[in-house]
Amino acid sequence: MDASEILRIVMNEGFDEAVVTTSSYNSTYLKIANYKLDSIVEKKRERGSLFVTKDKKIAFTSIEKLDIESVRQSINNAKKAISAAKPKEDYYGIAEGPFKYKNTVIFDKRIDEMNTDGAAEFANDIISKVNAENLAGTLHLSSSKYSIATSKGVEASSNGTEARLSLRIFDKGLSIQDTLSSRKLSEIKVEKILSNAELLKYVNTTHRINSGLYDLLYLRSPAGVLLSNVNSMACIGNVETGGFLTGKLGKHVANNGISMYDDGSIETGINSSPFDAEGYPTQRTQIIKAGMLIRYLHNYSTAKKYNTRSTGNAGLVYPSPNTLVVEHKKKQSIDKLIASIDKGILITNTWYTRFSNYLTGDFSTMPRDLAIYIKKGSPEFAVKQINVSSGVGIRISDNMIRMMMNITRVGNDIAQATSWDTLGTYYFVPSVIVENVNVSTA
């Protein structure tokens, strides 16, 4: 059954509104460990979901299988949920369609049609191109077909594919990890990761450093891990429940040169879609302009509540973020960024970023893998990382607003990135320099 058929049956049951989605999803994960293809995980799914409202009471149910029996069961569960739910008095409905969709996402047939034999061969080819002491990682390939139908006239579908390669390369007692993500298999070229691994050759020695203030050059993956909290906290639900952007509308929250966007429309964006969870067209929304927070993110209901327009960020009850894009007026090469640092550290990866208080935005994180100490514009040595024999390493303590206010230079290397620390979240972020960061040695 398709989403529209299911919707017709649902709307005969007396609900005020309904959103029906159906999806089929195939994915393959190939695990690389100890320099070998370790194992393969293959998934095939087909399912649906149902969102209904009645007198401002809200219910969600899953549709286990796309057949009439499962649909009837879901409707019964939805009725049960509606009868028990309490009304959400500040709920104002779903977006009123139909809509025209300008945006598309890429569907790569090569990914969709690849079987486990082909995927294993692709993974082994990647492994053969790496020359190091050890290698670990994951290759992930997936294709999805998604449809939505709503009682407010939306009927739409979108097909997309994803390829993600993450490699952690160990060589000469150091390590570096990087991830490539794209909707096209042809863009997954291990050479792009290996060019980053060239950083391992910058340094021949490892030393510890003292606690103190340093300028940090975060490469785009760790930069994105930290900055991807921005469009999440700009969602109005997080503003209402207390986040570091609460009460900051119209105030400077970042350096004057910085602009940030939430963008659900990027064709190559893994988190992109032509429409959001209520079928409203996705868009590029500026959140921060020249350092000032100018906008929160909304779905149709929260936009009505706040007398503004949806930003295409549904989330059926509360908005959810799309893809963060960070831009700066002036961009520089990584070499120029390194040359501009008097006393600092190049951070290639972070680990276990934790907030002690989301309202203030205080967090700490631990650099993992290669970190390079930079003195007077020149890479000097690899910063000693924690292991059982040395027990030293570095920890970063900072605050999100302070960090953004102190992003003074950015790289010309913006690309789609992600990290294991934020799996499922993708961002288009360049490398950034944050000045005067508190670094303590463990």
Least separation in angstroms between CB 188 and other proteins? 15
Q: Which of 272, 278, 318 is nearest to 298 (CA)?
A: 318
Contact assessment for residue 52 and residue 15, using Cβ atoms and an 8 Å cutoff? yes
Chosen residue from 20, 71, 136, 227 binding other proteins by CB under 8 A: 136
Contact code string over 147-186 relative to other proteins, x by CB under 8 A:
-------------------xxx-x------x---------
Binding to other proteins by residue 132, rule CB under 8 A? Answer: no
Is 222 or 393 the residue whose CB approaches other proteins more closely?
393
The sign of the CA dihedral 323, 326, 327, 333 is: negative
Binding to other proteins by residue 129, rule CB under 8 A? Answer: no
**CA-CA distance, 302 to 310, in Å (whole number)?**
8
Instruction: Report 264-283 residues binding other proteins (CB under 8 A).
Output: none
Chosen residue from 45, 172, 251, 343 binding other proteins by CB under 8 A: 45
Contact assessment for residue 42 and residue 175, using Cβ atoms and an 8 Å cutoff? no
* Omega of the bond leading into 367 within 30 degrees of 0 (cis): no
**CA-CA distance, 240 to 70, in Å (whole number)?**
36
Is 332 or 349 the residue whose CB approaches other proteins more closely?
349
Sorted by sequence, the CB contacts under 8 Å of residue 103 that are 6+ apart come out as 264, 265, 267, 272, 273, 274, 281, 282
* H runs (alpha helix) in 14-131: 68-84, 109-112, 116-128
Segment interacting with other proteins (CB under 8 A) among 14-22, 253-261, 324-332, 361-369 = 361-369
- Partners of 317 in beta bridges: none
**CA-CA distance, 409 to 370, in Å (whole number)?**
21
Is 5 or 38 the residue whose CB approaches other proteins more closely?
38
Least separation in angstroms between CB 289 and other proteins? 24
Contact assessment for residue 348 and residue 379, using Cβ atoms and an 8 Å cutoff? no
Is 84 or 205 the residue whose CB approaches other proteins more closely?
84
Is 40 or 106 the residue whose CB approaches other proteins more closely?
40
* H runs (alpha helix) in 308-407: 334-339, 400-405
Least separation in angstroms between CB 12 and other proteins? 20
Binding to other proteins by residue 39, rule CB under 8 A? Answer: yes
Binding to other proteins by residue 42, rule CB under 8 A? Answer: yes
Instruction: Report 52-111 residues binding other proteins (CB under 8 A).
Output: 57-62, 64-65, 73-74, 77-78, 80-90
Contact code string over 238-267 relative to other proteins, x by CB under 8 A:
--xxx-------------------------
Is 89 or 191 the residue whose CB approaches other proteins more closely?
89
Chosen residue from 68, 213, 290, 423 binding other proteins by CB under 8 A: 423
Contact assessment for residue 295 and residue 261, using Cβ atoms and an 8 Å cutoff? no
Angle at 262 between CA 90 and CA 331, to 5 degrees: 155
> What burial class does residue 364 get, using C-beta atoms within 10 Å of its C-beta: 0-12 exposed, 13-18 middle, 19+ buried?
middle
Return the number of other C-beta atoms located less than 10 Å from residue 342's C-beta.
10
Instruction: Report 285-344 residues binding other proteins (CB under 8 A).
Output: 316-318
Chosen residue from 101, 214, 275, 363 binding other proteins by CB under 8 A: 363
Least separation in angstroms between CB 269 and other proteins? 19
Return the number of other C-beta atoms located less than 10 Å from residue 355's C-beta.
17
Contact code string over 203-242 relative to other proteins, x by CB under 8 A:
----------------------------------x--xxx
Cβ density class 43-71: b for 16+ within 10 Å, e for less: eeeeebbbbbbbeebbbbbebeebeeebb
Least separation in angstroms between CB 259 and other proteins? 26
Is 279 or 315 the residue whose CB approaches other proteins more closely?
315
Is 308 or 390 the residue whose CB approaches other proteins more closely?
390
Packing angle, helices 3-10 and 68-84, rounded to 10: 50
Q: Which of 145, 240, 235, 196 is nearest to 369 (CA)?
A: 196
Binding to other proteins by residue 118, rule CB under 8 A? Answer: no
Instruction: Report 5-34 residues binding other proteins (CB under 8 A).
Output: 29, 31-34
Least separation in angstroms between CB 421 and other proteins? 10
Least separation in angstroms between CB 65 and other proteins? 7
Q: Which of 54, 157, 132, 55 is nearest to 370 (CA)?
A: 132
Segment interacting with other proteins (CB under 8 A) among 13-21, 282-290, 337-345, 356-364 = 356-364
Is 279 or 393 the residue whose CB approaches other proteins more closely?
393
